[in-house]
Amino acid sequence: MREAVDDFARHLAAERNRSVHTVRAYVGDVVSLLDHAVAAGAEAPAALTLAVLRGWLARRRAAGHARTSLARHAAAARTFTAWAKREGLADADPGQRLASPKAHRDLPTVLRADQAETLVTSPSGRADALGLRDRAVLELLYGTGIRVSELCGLDLGDVDRMRRVVRVVGKGDKERSVPYGLPADQALTEWLRHGRPALEAAQSGQALLLGARGGRLQAGAARRVVDGYARAAGLPPTSPHDLRHSAATHLLEGGADLRSVQEILGHASLSSTQIYTHVSIERLRSAYEQAHPRA
C-alpha cells in the first residue's frame, strides 16, 4: 500500500503535472482511503471494492466533511483506482461506479465596480517603493483577473508593455496571454521606474514584483496587501481571489462574452466560468427588488 501511494504521488507530479497542493490533497485522501481499506481487511490496491470506497466516503460524510470536500475525496479515489488498474496493480476499476455528491457552489464574493476602484487606488498617496508595488499588485490583480500565484510568478520578461499583455503560466503549466488596462500600465511604469530599483537585491532575479527584502513577492504577502488596503478603506473582507471574481463579473456585466472571460481566467472548462453569469443575475435581481415599486 505504501509503495502504491509513493508511486501514485510521483505519477500525479511527473506525468499529470499536478500542482504541489493538488498532489498533497490527493495523496492525503488516498492514504485515508487505504487506511480504511486495511482496517476492512484489504492488503493491496487490488482488494479495493466499490463497497470499500462507499464505506470510506460514508465515514467522511459522518465526520462532517462538506460536500465540496466529499466531491474531492471521491475524485481522488477515482483517480487512484483508475491509475492502479492501468499500472496492473488491480484487475478492475471500482472507482468508475463511485458517485459523489455534487459540490454545492456558493456564489463568490464580488465587489461593486466603485468598491474595486476604491481598493485598487488606495495606495495612490504613497510614493515609497512598497506603496508603488502595492498599487501595481492591486491594479494587476483586478485588471487581469489572474490568480495570486500567477501574479507572484511573473517575471520581467512576461510583461509586453507595447501590447499591454502579460504572459501567465497557470494550472497544469498552461500558458496564456492576458491583457491589462491603462491604469495597470501606469502603476507598472511607476513601480518599474521608481519602486523596483529601490528594493532590488541580489536575490531579486527576474521577478517582476518584489518583497520588502528584495526577493520575489510571495502569495501570502500579496494576500496581506489586498486585505490590508480593503480594511483601511472600510470595504468587506477581500482576498486576491475576490478581486479575480470581481474582474470576471465586471467583464460579463460590461458585455464580454463568456468564452472570452474563460480564456482570460484560464479555466479549463466553460462550466467553471458560468458561475459568474449567476452572480450577474443575482445582482440584477437585487437591483430590481430594491428599485422597482412593484418588485
Could you give the residue numbers annotated as active site? 147, 171, 241, 244, 267, 276
Q: Phi first, then psi: give them for residue 160, nearest 5 degrees.
A: -100, 95
Distances (CA, A) of 278 to 112, 247, 257, 267: 15, 15, 14, 17
Name the β-bridge partners of 159: 166
Q: How far apart are CA 266 and CA 70, in angstroms?
A: 25
Rounded to whole angstroms, the maximal C-alpha distance in the chain is 68
Q: How far apart are CA 176 and CA 265, in angstroms?
A: 9
Contact criterion met (CB below 8 Å) for 248 and 272: no
